[in-house]
Amino acid sequence: MLIIIGVLFAGGGGAILIPGTVVRGIERIQDKDGFLAAGSLALSTDGYALSSPAGDPLELPGGTPAVPFEFVTLRVTVTSTDKPVFMGIGAQRDIDRYLGGVEHSEVEGLNTFSSSAEYRHVDGGAPTLPPGELDIWVAEATGSAPQEMQWSLTPGEWGMVVMNADGGAGVDVEMNIAARSGLIAPAANFLTVLGWTLFLLGVAAVIAGGVLLGVGQSGLRTPR
């Protein structure tokens, strides 16, 4: 029985070490600031804005408990080919109001391996105001040089918009999205420690079971 328990513990520990090794590998390929980049993508639209899907916002439930470390921080870098660019993150409901009736493209699918994207075109006209004149953004960046924006995920439903700074039509940018989380290091440590603990306990149980089995068999032997 002890041998069976040991095999189960050792097998479970080995199974836990696999995702622990994967998480540890993710930790090692982060950049010097702790971000894991998804790669660059060329995005464009003939409309007035590129946006995240209105029906699929970046969401963190309001009841999410506070944690003593960074949950998720996004870093977005955008480079425009020929015009000053604006990018901003705001509440999805505010973005819906701003882009209501505005011709734009929702970026629904990103493939960093092929550097391609899928779009859903929304018909409309021009925006009433350039994006930088609104106070709906929780994070924003604008300018003609490559622009970088960082934002820590908080409870709510959020969306992102990329436009020309003047609000004009024809948006053509290169975007790089990266993420950083304080969960990665604790998760790697926990899985590694738990996996090795179970594995070593299992090995010890198998050895002890084997010793006890040998002693028991010796005691059952008939003396000559």
How far is 9 from 6, CA to CA, in rounded Å? 5
pTM of the model: 0.68
Q: Give the model's pLDDT for residue 217.
A: 58
Q: Which two tokens stand for residue 50?
A: 């590129």
More confident residue, 176 or 139: 139
pLDDT tens figures, 144-169: 878 889 888 888 899 999 999 999 99
Q: What is the DSSP string of 133-194?
A: G-S-EEEEEEESS-EEEEEE--SEEEEEEEEETT--S-EEEEEEEEEE-TTHHHHHHHHHHH
CA distances from 114 to 37, 74, 106, 144, 221 (A): 15, 22, 19, 27, 70
117 half-sphere exposure, CB direction, 13 A CA radius: 24
pLDDT tens figures, 13-61: 778 777 777 766 666 667 677 777 777 788 889 999 999 988 888 887 7
| Nearest residue to 171 (alpha-carbon basis) of 53, 85, 76, 77 | 85
The DSSP call for residue 115 is T
**β-bridge partners, 91:** 158
Phi first, then psi, for residue 198 (nearest 5°) are -65, -40
pLDDT at residue 64 tops 60: no
Instruction: Provide the mean pLDDT of the chain.
Output: 80
Q: Which two tokens stand for residue 169?
A: 């039509």
CA distances from 15 to 69, 127, 194 (A): 27, 54, 11
| Nearest residue to 6 (alpha-carbon basis) of 198, 159, 164, 177 | 198
